Structure 1
Amino acid sequence: MVFFTCNICGESVKKPAVEKHYQQKCRGNQKNVSCMDCLKDFYGEDYVAHTKCISEAQKYANQNSNFVAKEPRNKNAQKQEGWMDIIRAILDSTDYQLTPPIRNAFQRLQSVDNVPRKKAKFENFVSNCIHMPRAQASQVWDILEKELNKMKAAKQQELAKLKEQKESQKQQQEVEKEEQPPSKKAKIENGHDIEESTEASEFDWAAQLTKLVGKQSDGSIFQEKLKKKLLKKYLKHLTLLELSEKQAKKFDKKFDKHLKKCETLKLEGDLVKHL
Protein backbone atom coordinates (compact mmCIF):
# COMPACT_ATOMS: atom_id res chain seq x y z
CA MET A 1 0.00 0.00 0.00
CA VAL A 2 1.36 3.40 -1.02
CA PHE A 3 1.10 6.23 1.55
CA PHE A 4 1.28 9.94 0.75
CA THR A 5 1.84 13.11 2.76
CA CYS A 6 -0.46 15.99 1.95
CA ASN A 7 1.74 19.01 1.20
CA ILE A 8 -1.12 21.36 2.17
CA CYS A 9 -1.83 20.16 5.72
CA GLY A 10 0.95 17.62 6.38
CA GLU A 11 -1.41 14.72 7.09
CA SER A 12 -0.47 11.18 5.98
CA VAL A 13 -3.05 9.67 3.64
CA LYS A 14 -3.51 6.21 2.11
CA LYS A 15 -3.65 6.25 -1.67
CA PRO A 16 -7.37 5.29 -1.92
CA ALA A 17 -8.21 8.10 0.54
CA VAL A 18 -6.46 10.92 -1.36
CA GLU A 19 -9.58 11.82 -3.34
CA LYS A 20 -11.75 11.96 -0.20
CA HIS A 21 -9.09 14.00 1.63
CA TYR A 22 -9.18 16.75 -1.03
CA GLN A 23 -12.98 16.70 -1.08
CA GLN A 24 -13.19 17.31 2.67
CA LYS A 25 -10.22 18.50 4.74
CA CYS A 26 -8.22 20.26 1.99
CA ARG A 27 -11.23 21.11 -0.14
CA GLY A 28 -10.65 23.82 -2.73
CA ASN A 29 -6.91 23.14 -3.02
CA GLN A 30 -5.18 21.47 -5.96
CA LYS A 31 -3.95 17.98 -5.12
CA ASN A 32 -0.31 18.16 -3.96
CA VAL A 33 1.09 15.05 -2.27
CA SER A 34 4.48 13.43 -1.63
CA CYS A 35 5.19 9.69 -1.46
CA MET A 36 6.32 8.77 2.07
CA ASP A 37 8.81 6.18 0.76
CA CYS A 38 10.50 7.75 -2.28
CA LEU A 39 9.66 11.39 -1.32
CA LYS A 40 8.57 12.18 -4.88
CA ASP A 41 6.04 15.00 -5.32
CA PHE A 42 2.82 14.52 -7.31
CA TYR A 43 0.44 17.20 -8.56
CA GLY A 44 -3.16 16.84 -9.66
CA GLU A 45 -3.97 13.26 -10.74
CA ASP A 46 -0.31 12.22 -11.25
CA TYR A 47 -0.36 10.24 -7.99
CA VAL A 48 -2.84 7.72 -9.53
CA ALA A 49 -0.09 6.14 -11.68
CA HIS A 50 2.15 5.63 -8.60
CA THR A 51 0.94 2.08 -7.91
CA LYS A 52 4.00 0.79 -6.02
CA CYS A 53 7.10 2.21 -4.40
CA ILE A 54 10.57 1.23 -3.22
CA SER A 55 10.99 -1.07 -0.22
CA GLU A 56 12.74 -0.10 3.01
CA ALA A 57 15.80 -2.11 1.88
CA GLN A 58 15.96 -0.23 -1.44
CA LYS A 59 15.51 3.08 0.40
CA TYR A 60 18.47 2.24 2.68
CA ALA A 61 20.53 1.13 -0.33
CA ASN A 62 20.10 4.58 -1.91
CA GLN A 63 21.58 6.14 1.24
CA ASN A 64 24.38 3.60 1.73
CA SER A 65 26.49 2.70 -1.33
CA ASN A 66 27.91 -0.42 0.42
CA PHE A 67 24.48 -1.98 0.91
CA VAL A 68 22.92 -3.97 -1.94
CA ALA A 69 19.19 -4.53 -1.70
CA LYS A 70 17.74 -7.84 -2.84
CA GLU A 71 14.81 -7.70 -5.22
CA PRO A 72 11.68 -8.81 -3.34
CA ARG A 73 9.94 -11.89 -4.66
CA ASN A 74 6.23 -11.16 -4.40
CA LYS A 75 4.11 -13.16 -6.81
CA ASN A 76 0.91 -11.42 -5.68
CA ALA A 77 2.44 -8.01 -6.42
CA GLN A 78 3.36 -9.19 -9.95
CA LYS A 79 -0.17 -10.48 -10.53
CA GLN A 80 -1.62 -7.22 -9.22
CA GLU A 81 0.64 -5.23 -11.54
CA GLY A 82 -0.61 -7.39 -14.43
CA TRP A 83 -4.18 -6.62 -13.36
CA MET A 84 -3.37 -2.90 -13.41
CA ASP A 85 -1.92 -3.31 -16.93
CA ILE A 86 -5.29 -4.69 -18.07
CA ILE A 87 -7.11 -1.69 -16.59
CA ARG A 88 -4.71 0.72 -18.32
CA ALA A 89 -5.09 -1.18 -21.61
CA ILE A 90 -8.88 -0.83 -21.39
CA LEU A 91 -8.64 2.92 -20.76
CA ASP A 92 -6.27 3.33 -23.74
CA SER A 93 -8.34 1.12 -26.06
CA THR A 94 -11.04 2.37 -28.44
CA ASP A 95 -12.67 -1.08 -28.73
CA TYR A 96 -14.99 -0.78 -25.74
CA GLN A 97 -16.54 2.69 -26.25
CA LEU A 98 -16.68 3.35 -22.50
CA THR A 99 -19.42 5.59 -21.19
CA PRO A 100 -18.26 8.45 -18.91
CA PRO A 101 -19.43 6.66 -15.70
CA ILE A 102 -17.68 3.39 -16.66
CA ARG A 103 -14.49 5.24 -17.70
CA ASN A 104 -14.56 7.10 -14.38
CA ALA A 105 -14.94 3.74 -12.58
CA PHE A 106 -11.82 2.36 -14.28
CA GLN A 107 -9.87 5.53 -13.49
CA ARG A 108 -10.82 5.16 -9.82
CA LEU A 109 -9.71 1.51 -9.89
CA GLN A 110 -6.20 2.62 -10.89
CA SER A 111 -5.74 4.30 -7.51
CA VAL A 112 -6.75 1.19 -5.53
CA ASP A 113 -4.31 -1.51 -4.42
CA ASN A 114 -5.06 -5.24 -4.12
CA VAL A 115 -8.01 -5.34 -6.49
CA PRO A 116 -9.53 -8.88 -6.33
CA ARG A 117 -9.29 -11.01 -9.46
CA LYS A 118 -12.47 -13.08 -8.87
CA LYS A 119 -15.92 -11.80 -9.88
CA ALA A 120 -17.79 -12.13 -6.57
CA LYS A 121 -14.92 -10.71 -4.49
CA PHE A 122 -14.37 -7.94 -7.04
CA GLU A 123 -18.00 -6.81 -6.93
CA ASN A 124 -18.00 -6.81 -3.10
CA PHE A 125 -14.68 -4.96 -2.99
CA VAL A 126 -15.61 -2.12 -5.35
CA SER A 127 -19.07 -1.77 -3.73
CA ASN A 128 -17.58 -1.40 -0.24
CA CYS A 129 -14.30 0.42 -0.94
CA ILE A 130 -15.13 2.85 -3.72
CA HIS A 131 -18.92 2.72 -3.40
CA MET A 132 -19.55 1.52 -6.93
CA PRO A 133 -23.14 0.41 -7.66
CA ARG A 134 -23.58 -3.34 -8.18
CA ALA A 135 -24.87 -2.96 -11.73
CA GLN A 136 -21.88 -0.80 -12.68
CA ALA A 137 -19.47 -3.21 -10.93
CA SER A 138 -20.89 -6.06 -13.02
CA GLN A 139 -20.39 -4.08 -16.27
CA VAL A 140 -16.82 -3.21 -15.27
CA TRP A 141 -16.08 -6.87 -14.50
CA ASP A 142 -17.45 -8.02 -17.88
CA ILE A 143 -15.11 -5.60 -19.68
CA LEU A 144 -12.16 -6.70 -17.51
CA GLU A 145 -12.88 -10.36 -18.25
CA LYS A 146 -13.17 -9.70 -21.99
CA GLU A 147 -9.80 -7.87 -22.07
CA LEU A 148 -8.19 -10.60 -19.93
CA ASN A 149 -9.37 -13.34 -22.32
CA LYS A 150 -8.12 -11.30 -25.27
CA MET A 151 -4.67 -10.96 -23.66
CA LYS A 152 -4.59 -14.70 -22.84
CA ALA A 153 -5.44 -15.61 -26.45
CA ALA A 154 -2.70 -13.28 -27.73
CA LYS A 155 -0.21 -14.83 -25.28
CA GLN A 156 -1.13 -18.37 -26.38
CA GLN A 157 -0.68 -17.41 -30.04
CA GLU A 158 2.73 -15.93 -29.24
CA LEU A 159 3.79 -19.08 -27.34
CA ALA A 160 2.54 -21.33 -30.16
CA LYS A 161 4.51 -19.27 -32.68
CA LEU A 162 7.68 -19.49 -30.56
CA LYS A 163 7.22 -23.25 -30.19
CA GLU A 164 6.79 -23.63 -33.95
CA GLN A 165 9.96 -21.60 -34.59
CA LYS A 166 11.96 -23.75 -32.11
CA GLU A 167 10.74 -26.98 -33.73
CA SER A 168 11.60 -25.61 -37.17
CA GLN A 169 15.11 -24.64 -36.01
CA LYS A 170 15.57 -28.08 -34.42
CA GLN A 171 14.57 -29.85 -37.63
CA GLN A 172 16.91 -27.63 -39.66
CA GLN A 173 19.80 -28.42 -37.31
CA GLU A 174 19.11 -32.16 -37.60
CA VAL A 175 19.11 -31.92 -41.41
CA GLU A 176 22.39 -29.98 -41.39
CA LYS A 177 23.89 -32.49 -38.96
CA GLU A 178 22.99 -35.40 -41.26
CA GLU A 179 24.51 -33.63 -44.27
CA GLN A 180 27.83 -32.94 -42.51
CA PRO A 181 30.62 -35.56 -42.94
CA PRO A 182 31.51 -37.48 -39.77
CA SER A 183 34.35 -35.97 -37.81
CA LYS A 184 35.78 -36.11 -34.32
CA LYS A 185 37.47 -33.51 -32.16
CA ALA A 186 41.10 -33.79 -31.13
CA LYS A 187 42.84 -31.59 -28.60
CA ILE A 188 46.41 -30.39 -29.15
CA GLU A 189 48.77 -29.48 -26.32
CA ASN A 190 48.23 -25.72 -26.59
CA GLY A 191 44.59 -26.26 -25.60
CA HIS A 192 42.91 -25.39 -28.90
CA ASP A 193 40.28 -27.72 -30.39
CA ILE A 194 40.72 -28.89 -33.96
CA GLU A 195 38.88 -31.35 -36.14
CA GLU A 196 40.70 -34.53 -37.05
CA SER A 197 39.54 -35.15 -40.59
CA THR A 198 38.34 -38.51 -41.83
CA GLU A 199 41.34 -38.36 -44.19
CA ALA A 200 43.39 -39.68 -41.24
CA SER A 201 41.92 -43.11 -41.92
CA GLU A 202 42.85 -42.77 -45.63
CA PHE A 203 46.56 -42.34 -44.90
CA ASP A 204 48.34 -45.09 -46.88
CA TRP A 205 50.65 -46.46 -44.20
CA ALA A 206 52.12 -49.36 -46.23
CA ALA A 207 52.88 -47.20 -49.28
CA GLN A 208 54.50 -44.44 -47.22
CA LEU A 209 56.62 -46.90 -45.21
CA THR A 210 57.82 -48.68 -48.39
CA LYS A 211 58.59 -45.35 -50.06
CA LEU A 212 60.65 -44.04 -47.13
CA VAL A 213 62.71 -47.25 -46.81
CA GLY A 214 63.15 -47.46 -50.62
CA LYS A 215 64.72 -43.98 -50.67
CA GLN A 216 67.64 -45.21 -48.54
CA SER A 217 70.80 -46.01 -50.53
CA ASP A 218 71.26 -49.44 -48.94
CA GLY A 219 67.53 -50.13 -48.69
CA SER A 220 67.52 -50.15 -44.88
CA ILE A 221 66.79 -47.67 -42.02
CA PHE A 222 66.62 -47.77 -38.25
CA GLN A 223 63.07 -48.22 -36.94
CA GLU A 224 63.11 -45.07 -34.75
CA LYS A 225 64.37 -42.92 -37.62
CA LEU A 226 61.69 -44.36 -39.92
CA LYS A 227 59.04 -43.49 -37.33
CA LYS A 228 60.20 -39.84 -37.18
CA LYS A 229 60.16 -39.51 -40.97
CA LEU A 230 56.72 -41.09 -41.17
CA LEU A 231 55.45 -38.77 -38.40
CA LYS A 232 56.37 -35.73 -40.52
CA LYS A 233 54.41 -37.19 -43.43
CA TYR A 234 51.46 -37.95 -41.13
CA LEU A 235 51.39 -34.40 -39.67
CA LYS A 236 51.53 -32.90 -43.15
CA HIS A 237 48.68 -35.18 -44.21
CA LEU A 238 46.53 -33.96 -41.28
CA THR A 239 47.73 -30.35 -41.65
CA LEU A 240 48.84 -30.33 -37.99
CA LEU A 241 51.93 -28.93 -36.31
CA GLU A 242 51.99 -31.56 -33.58
CA LEU A 243 49.96 -34.41 -32.13
CA SER A 244 48.24 -34.47 -28.79
CA GLU A 245 49.27 -37.09 -26.25
CA LYS A 246 46.29 -39.24 -27.21
CA GLN A 247 47.00 -38.91 -30.94
CA ALA A 248 50.70 -39.72 -30.42
CA LYS A 249 49.81 -43.00 -28.67
CA LYS A 250 47.49 -43.94 -31.54
CA PHE A 251 50.21 -43.10 -34.07
CA ASP A 252 52.73 -45.36 -32.27
CA LYS A 253 50.26 -48.28 -32.26
CA LYS A 254 49.40 -47.83 -35.94
CA PHE A 255 53.07 -47.53 -36.89
CA ASP A 256 53.96 -50.83 -35.19
CA LYS A 257 50.87 -52.54 -36.60
CA HIS A 258 51.38 -51.47 -40.22
CA LEU A 259 55.13 -52.06 -40.10
CA LYS A 260 54.57 -55.70 -39.11
CA LYS A 261 51.84 -56.16 -41.73
CA CYS A 262 53.84 -54.55 -44.59
CA GLU A 263 54.76 -57.32 -47.06
CA THR A 264 57.54 -55.33 -48.75
CA LEU A 265 59.48 -54.67 -45.56
CA LYS A 266 61.30 -56.83 -43.06
CA LEU A 267 62.21 -55.98 -39.45
CA GLU A 268 65.57 -57.26 -38.22
CA GLY A 269 66.17 -56.09 -34.66
CA ASP A 270 66.07 -52.26 -34.82
CA LEU A 271 66.67 -52.21 -38.56
CA VAL A 272 63.94 -52.09 -41.22
CA LYS A 273 64.95 -53.54 -44.60
CA HIS A 274 63.40 -53.48 -48.04
CA LEU A 275 62.69 -56.95 -49.49
Structure 2
Amino acid sequence: MVFFTCNICGESVKKPAVEKHYQTRCRGKTKNVSCMDCLKDFYEEEYVAHTKCISEAQKYSNQNFVPKEPKNKNAQKQESWMDIIRAILDSTEYQLTPQLRNAFQRLQSVDNVPRKKAKFENFVGNCMRMPRHQATEVWDILEKELNKMKEAKQAELAAAKAAKQKEAGAEAEAETEADVPPKKKTKLENGEATQTDSAATEETNEFDWTAQLSKLVAKQPDGIFLEKLKKKLAKKYTKHLAVTELTEKQSKKFDKRFDKQLKKCDGLQLEGDLVKQC
Protein backbone atom coordinates (compact mmCIF):
# COMPACT_ATOMS: atom_id res chain seq x y z
CA MET A 1 0.00 0.00 0.00
CA VAL A 2 1.37 3.43 -1.00
CA PHE A 3 1.18 6.25 1.59
CA PHE A 4 1.30 9.95 0.81
CA THR A 5 1.89 13.11 2.81
CA CYS A 6 -0.41 16.03 2.09
CA ASN A 7 1.84 19.00 1.33
CA ILE A 8 -0.90 21.39 2.45
CA CYS A 9 -1.76 20.15 5.96
CA GLY A 10 1.02 17.59 6.52
CA GLU A 11 -1.31 14.68 7.24
CA SER A 12 -0.33 11.16 6.09
CA VAL A 13 -2.94 9.59 3.83
CA LYS A 14 -3.36 6.13 2.29
CA LYS A 15 -3.63 6.20 -1.49
CA PRO A 16 -7.34 5.18 -1.63
CA ALA A 17 -8.14 7.99 0.87
CA VAL A 18 -6.47 10.85 -1.05
CA GLU A 19 -9.67 11.73 -2.94
CA LYS A 20 -11.70 11.82 0.28
CA HIS A 21 -9.00 13.89 2.02
CA TYR A 22 -9.29 16.66 -0.58
CA GLN A 23 -13.07 16.54 -0.37
CA THR A 24 -13.09 17.02 3.42
CA ARG A 25 -9.89 18.09 5.26
CA CYS A 26 -8.29 20.13 2.46
CA ARG A 27 -11.47 20.84 0.56
CA GLY A 28 -11.13 23.23 -2.35
CA LYS A 29 -7.35 22.94 -2.41
CA THR A 30 -5.38 21.69 -5.40
CA LYS A 31 -4.10 18.16 -4.81
CA ASN A 32 -0.45 18.25 -3.80
CA VAL A 33 1.00 15.13 -2.16
CA SER A 34 4.39 13.46 -1.81
CA CYS A 35 5.15 9.75 -1.45
CA MET A 36 6.37 8.83 2.03
CA ASP A 37 8.82 6.26 0.63
CA CYS A 38 10.41 7.80 -2.46
CA LEU A 39 9.60 11.46 -1.45
CA LYS A 40 8.45 12.28 -4.99
CA ASP A 41 5.86 15.08 -5.34
CA PHE A 42 2.60 14.60 -7.25
CA TYR A 43 0.16 17.27 -8.41
CA GLU A 44 -3.50 17.01 -9.37
CA GLU A 45 -4.19 13.38 -10.52
CA GLU A 46 -0.53 12.35 -11.03
CA TYR A 47 -0.58 10.30 -7.80
CA VAL A 48 -3.09 7.81 -9.35
CA ALA A 49 -0.42 6.21 -11.56
CA HIS A 50 1.92 5.74 -8.55
CA THR A 51 0.85 2.16 -7.75
CA LYS A 52 4.18 0.83 -6.42
CA CYS A 53 7.11 2.31 -4.56
CA ILE A 54 10.58 1.38 -3.35
CA SER A 55 11.00 -0.82 -0.31
CA GLU A 56 12.96 0.11 2.81
CA ALA A 57 15.79 -2.15 1.61
CA GLN A 58 16.08 -0.09 -1.58
CA LYS A 59 15.68 3.20 0.26
CA TYR A 60 18.54 2.69 2.70
CA SER A 61 20.91 0.55 0.60
CA ASN A 62 23.53 1.65 -1.91
CA GLN A 63 22.75 2.56 -5.52
CA ASN A 64 23.79 -0.89 -6.80
CA PHE A 65 20.91 -2.58 -4.97
CA VAL A 66 19.06 -5.08 -7.18
CA PRO A 67 15.51 -5.76 -5.91
CA LYS A 68 14.22 -9.33 -5.90
CA GLU A 69 11.21 -10.21 -7.99
CA PRO A 70 8.04 -10.38 -5.85
CA LYS A 71 6.71 -13.89 -5.25
CA ASN A 72 3.24 -12.84 -4.11
CA LYS A 73 0.89 -14.41 -6.70
CA ASN A 74 -2.07 -12.34 -5.50
CA ALA A 75 -0.08 -9.14 -6.05
CA GLN A 76 0.78 -10.25 -9.57
CA LYS A 77 -2.88 -11.08 -10.32
CA GLN A 78 -3.94 -7.71 -8.91
CA GLU A 79 -1.39 -5.95 -11.11
CA SER A 80 -2.77 -7.77 -14.16
CA TRP A 81 -6.26 -6.62 -13.13
CA MET A 82 -5.00 -3.03 -12.92
CA ASP A 83 -3.46 -3.41 -16.39
CA ILE A 84 -6.94 -4.18 -17.71
CA ILE A 85 -8.32 -1.01 -16.12
CA ARG A 86 -5.52 1.07 -17.66
CA ALA A 87 -6.05 -0.60 -21.06
CA ILE A 88 -9.74 0.39 -20.97
CA LEU A 89 -8.88 4.01 -20.19
CA ASP A 90 -6.36 4.11 -23.05
CA SER A 91 -8.68 2.41 -25.55
CA THR A 92 -11.01 4.28 -27.92
CA GLU A 93 -13.18 1.19 -28.42
CA TYR A 94 -15.48 1.68 -25.44
CA GLN A 95 -16.35 5.39 -25.89
CA LEU A 96 -16.64 5.96 -22.13
CA THR A 97 -19.01 8.63 -20.84
CA PRO A 98 -17.46 11.19 -18.45
CA GLN A 99 -19.08 9.37 -15.51
CA LEU A 100 -17.68 5.97 -16.53
CA ARG A 101 -14.22 7.41 -17.26
CA ASN A 102 -14.20 9.03 -13.83
CA ALA A 103 -15.19 5.68 -12.27
CA PHE A 104 -12.27 3.87 -13.94
CA GLN A 105 -9.86 6.65 -12.95
CA ARG A 106 -10.96 6.26 -9.34
CA LEU A 107 -10.46 2.48 -9.57
CA GLN A 108 -6.83 3.07 -10.54
CA SER A 109 -6.10 4.50 -7.12
CA VAL A 110 -7.37 1.40 -5.31
CA ASP A 111 -4.96 -1.48 -4.62
CA ASN A 112 -7.47 -4.24 -3.78
CA VAL A 113 -10.11 -4.23 -6.51
CA PRO A 114 -12.06 -7.55 -6.31
CA ARG A 115 -11.94 -9.81 -9.37
CA LYS A 116 -15.41 -11.41 -8.93
CA LYS A 117 -18.63 -9.66 -10.03
CA ALA A 118 -20.61 -9.86 -6.77
CA LYS A 119 -17.66 -8.80 -4.59
CA PHE A 120 -16.73 -6.07 -7.09
CA GLU A 121 -20.21 -4.52 -7.07
CA ASN A 122 -20.37 -4.62 -3.25
CA PHE A 123 -16.88 -3.14 -2.97
CA VAL A 124 -17.42 -0.16 -5.29
CA GLY A 125 -20.87 0.42 -3.83
CA ASN A 126 -19.70 0.46 -0.18
CA CYS A 127 -16.16 1.86 -0.48
CA MET A 128 -16.47 4.17 -3.48
CA ARG A 129 -20.17 5.11 -3.14
CA MET A 130 -20.76 4.10 -6.76
CA PRO A 131 -24.43 3.63 -7.80
CA ARG A 132 -25.42 0.01 -8.45
CA HIS A 133 -26.30 0.54 -12.11
CA GLN A 134 -22.96 2.26 -12.75
CA ALA A 135 -21.09 -0.54 -10.94
CA THR A 136 -22.76 -3.06 -13.28
CA GLU A 137 -21.79 -1.00 -16.36
CA VAL A 138 -18.17 -0.80 -15.17
CA TRP A 139 -18.07 -4.55 -14.52
CA ASP A 140 -19.51 -5.36 -17.97
CA ILE A 141 -16.73 -3.34 -19.64
CA LEU A 142 -14.09 -4.97 -17.43
CA GLU A 143 -15.41 -8.44 -18.30
CA LYS A 144 -15.44 -7.63 -22.03
CA GLU A 145 -11.81 -6.46 -21.95
CA LEU A 146 -10.82 -9.50 -19.85
CA ASN A 147 -12.40 -11.93 -22.36
CA LYS A 148 -10.73 -10.05 -25.20
CA MET A 149 -7.32 -10.50 -23.55
CA LYS A 150 -8.02 -14.21 -22.90
CA GLU A 151 -8.91 -14.78 -26.56
CA ALA A 152 -5.72 -13.01 -27.66
CA LYS A 153 -3.70 -15.20 -25.27
CA GLN A 154 -5.37 -18.39 -26.55
CA ALA A 155 -4.70 -17.37 -30.17
CA GLU A 156 -1.05 -16.77 -29.28
CA LEU A 157 -0.76 -20.20 -27.61
CA ALA A 158 -2.49 -21.89 -30.56
CA ALA A 159 -0.08 -20.25 -33.01
CA ALA A 160 2.90 -21.35 -30.89
CA LYS A 161 1.51 -24.92 -30.70
CA ALA A 162 0.99 -25.04 -34.49
CA ALA A 163 4.55 -23.85 -35.08
CA LYS A 164 5.86 -26.48 -32.67
CA GLN A 165 3.87 -29.25 -34.38
CA LYS A 166 5.16 -28.13 -37.76
CA GLU A 167 8.72 -28.26 -36.44
CA ALA A 168 8.11 -31.70 -34.91
CA GLY A 169 6.71 -32.94 -38.25
CA ALA A 170 9.83 -31.76 -40.06
CA GLU A 171 12.02 -33.54 -37.49
CA ALA A 172 9.99 -36.77 -37.82
CA GLU A 173 10.36 -36.63 -41.60
CA ALA A 174 14.10 -36.12 -41.29
CA GLU A 175 14.27 -39.04 -38.83
CA THR A 176 12.38 -41.30 -41.27
CA GLU A 177 14.81 -40.43 -44.04
CA ALA A 178 17.73 -41.11 -41.72
CA ASP A 179 16.33 -44.59 -40.89
CA VAL A 180 16.31 -45.67 -44.57
CA PRO A 181 19.20 -48.15 -45.01
CA PRO A 182 21.94 -47.07 -47.44
CA LYS A 183 22.32 -48.87 -50.77
CA LYS A 184 25.79 -50.03 -49.83
CA LYS A 185 26.78 -51.01 -46.31
CA THR A 186 30.05 -49.66 -45.01
CA LYS A 187 32.45 -52.37 -43.96
CA LEU A 188 33.44 -52.16 -40.32
CA GLU A 189 36.85 -53.22 -39.14
CA ASN A 190 35.42 -54.80 -36.02
CA GLY A 191 32.80 -57.49 -36.72
CA GLU A 192 31.69 -57.56 -33.08
CA ALA A 193 30.62 -53.90 -33.28
CA THR A 194 28.15 -54.81 -36.04
CA GLN A 195 26.64 -57.57 -33.93
CA THR A 196 26.36 -55.22 -30.91
CA ASP A 197 24.55 -52.54 -32.94
CA SER A 198 22.12 -55.14 -34.34
CA ALA A 199 21.37 -56.48 -30.87
CA ALA A 200 20.83 -52.96 -29.53
CA THR A 201 18.43 -52.19 -32.39
CA GLU A 202 16.36 -55.27 -31.62
CA GLU A 203 16.25 -54.40 -27.93
CA THR A 204 15.26 -50.81 -28.72
CA ASN A 205 12.32 -52.05 -30.82
CA GLU A 206 11.15 -54.16 -27.89
CA PHE A 207 11.24 -51.21 -25.43
CA ASP A 208 7.64 -50.31 -24.53
CA TRP A 209 7.76 -46.51 -24.78
CA THR A 210 4.05 -45.87 -24.21
CA ALA A 211 3.79 -48.03 -21.10
CA GLN A 212 6.96 -46.63 -19.54
CA LEU A 213 5.99 -43.00 -20.23
CA SER A 214 2.47 -43.49 -18.86
CA LYS A 215 3.81 -45.24 -15.76
CA LEU A 216 6.25 -42.44 -14.93
CA VAL A 217 3.71 -39.65 -15.44
CA ALA A 218 1.03 -41.52 -13.45
CA LYS A 219 3.28 -41.32 -10.37
CA GLN A 220 3.03 -37.51 -10.50
CA PRO A 221 -0.67 -36.45 -10.22
CA ASP A 222 0.24 -32.78 -10.72
CA GLY A 223 2.44 -33.51 -13.73
CA ILE A 224 6.19 -33.92 -14.21
CA PHE A 225 8.66 -31.57 -15.86
CA LEU A 226 9.72 -32.63 -19.35
CA GLU A 227 13.46 -32.79 -18.60
CA LYS A 228 12.89 -34.79 -15.42
CA LEU A 229 10.69 -37.28 -17.30
CA LYS A 230 13.35 -37.59 -19.98
CA LYS A 231 16.09 -38.37 -17.43
CA LYS A 232 13.98 -41.00 -15.66
CA LEU A 233 13.08 -42.70 -18.94
CA ALA A 234 16.72 -42.60 -20.06
CA LYS A 235 17.65 -44.62 -16.97
CA LYS A 236 15.05 -47.28 -17.80
CA TYR A 237 16.16 -47.27 -21.44
CA THR A 238 19.81 -47.76 -20.42
CA LYS A 239 18.84 -50.60 -18.10
CA HIS A 240 16.80 -52.19 -20.89
CA LEU A 241 19.86 -52.19 -23.16
CA ALA A 242 21.87 -53.81 -20.35
CA VAL A 243 24.57 -51.13 -20.52
CA THR A 244 25.94 -48.77 -17.90
CA GLU A 245 25.95 -45.73 -20.15
CA LEU A 246 24.50 -44.85 -23.55
CA THR A 247 26.88 -44.22 -26.42
CA GLU A 248 26.65 -40.95 -28.35
CA LYS A 249 24.76 -42.70 -31.13
CA GLN A 250 22.34 -44.35 -28.71
CA SER A 251 21.75 -41.02 -26.90
CA LYS A 252 20.88 -39.25 -30.14
CA LYS A 253 18.48 -42.03 -31.09
CA PHE A 254 16.89 -41.95 -27.65
CA ASP A 255 16.32 -38.17 -27.89
CA LYS A 256 14.58 -38.52 -31.25
CA ARG A 257 12.45 -41.48 -30.16
CA PHE A 258 11.53 -39.79 -26.87
CA ASP A 259 10.06 -36.70 -28.57
CA LYS A 260 8.29 -38.82 -31.18
CA GLN A 261 6.81 -41.33 -28.72
CA LEU A 262 5.69 -38.60 -26.28
CA LYS A 263 3.62 -36.97 -29.04
CA LYS A 264 2.14 -40.36 -29.99
CA CYS A 265 1.05 -41.16 -26.42
CA ASP A 266 -2.69 -40.37 -26.35
CA GLY A 267 -2.97 -40.49 -22.57
CA LEU A 268 -0.46 -37.68 -22.05
CA GLN A 269 -0.44 -33.98 -22.86
CA LEU A 270 2.31 -31.34 -22.78
CA GLU A 271 1.50 -28.00 -21.14
CA GLY A 272 4.54 -25.76 -21.49
CA ASP A 273 7.36 -27.70 -19.80
CA LEU A 274 4.96 -29.91 -17.81
CA VAL A 275 3.74 -33.37 -18.90
CA LYS A 276 0.34 -34.42 -17.48
CA GLN A 277 -2.20 -37.19 -17.90
CA CYS A 278 -5.23 -36.27 -20.04
CA shift, 1:31, in A, is 1.6
**Preserved contact between residue 82 and residue 108 of structure 2 (Cα < 8 Å):** yes
For residues 136 and 124 of structure 1, the distance between their equivalents in structure 2, rounded to whole angstroms, comes to 12
- How many Å separate the matches in 1 of 2:177 and 2:87? 49
Q: 2:142, 2:188 → 1: CA distance?
A: 74
Q: What's the CA shift for 1:171?
A: 1.3
Structure 1 equivalent of residue 161 of structure 2: 163
Q: Structure 2-normalised TM-score?
A: 0.62
Q: Which residue of 1 aligns with 2:33?
A: 33
SS in 1 for 2:22: helix
What is the deviation of 1:83?
0.6
- Alpha-carbon distance between aligned partners in 2 of 1:176 and 1:8, rounded to the nearest angstrom: 74
CA positional deviation for 1:71? 2.6
Q: How does 1:68-83 map to 2 (within 5 A)?
A: 69-83=67-81
Q: Partners of 1:95 and 1:64 in 2: how far apart?
A: 45
Aligned Cα root-mean-square deviation (Å) = 2.9
The code of the aligned residue for 2:145 comes to: E
Structure 2 matches for 1:206-225, cutoff 5 A?
none
Amino acid at match of 1:102: L
| Cα distance in 2 for residues equivalent to 1:100 and 1:55 | 36
Of 23-32 and 91-100, more deviation after overlay is shown by 23-32
Between the aligned partners of 1:65 and 1:95, the Cα distance in structure 2 is 43
Q: Which amino acid aligns with 1:72?
A: P
CA pair 177-154 structure 1, distance change in 2 beyond 3 A:
same
Q: TM-score, normalised by structure 1?
A: 0.62
Deviations 1:239-258 (A, max 9, x none): xxxxxxx9xxxxxxxxxxxx
Question: Deviation of residue 8 (structure 1)?
Answer: 1.9
Matched residue, 1:137: 135
Aligned to 2:122: 124
Provide the C-alpha distance between the structure 1 equivalents of 2:63 and 2:88, rounded to a whole number of angstroms: 41
State the partner residue of 2:50: 50
CA contact (8 A) 2:4 2:14 kept: yes
Q: Which residue of 2 aligns with 1:85?
A: 83
> Is the 2:58–2:65 Cα contact (8 Å) retained in structure 1?
no
1:4 aligned partner, one-letter code? F
- Report Cα offsets for 1:150-188 as digits up to 9, x if no partner: 111111111111111111111112223333489xxxxxx
Deviations 1:121-168 (A, max 9, x none): 101100111110111101111111111111111111111111111111
Residues in 2 aligned to 1:114 and 1:51: alpha-carbon distance in whole angstroms: 11
Alignment of 1:248-263 (within 5 A): none
Sequence identity percentage: 74
Q: Which one of 147, 151, 154 corresponds to residue 153 of structure 1?
A: 151
Separation of aligned partners in 2, 1:77 and 1:21 = 26
Change (3 A) 1:109 1:68: closer
Distance 2:178 2:43 in 1: 66
**More divergent stretch after superposition (109-118 vs 86-95):** 86-95
1:11 corresponds in structure 2 to 11
Question: Where does residue 95 of structure 2 map in the other structure?
Answer: 97
| Uncovered stretches (5+) of structure 2, i.e. residues with no partner | 191-246, 248-278
Residue 178 of structure 1 pairs with residue 172 of structure 2? no
CA distance 1:140–1:204, shift in 2 (3 Å): closer
Q: CA deviation at 1:35?
A: 1.2
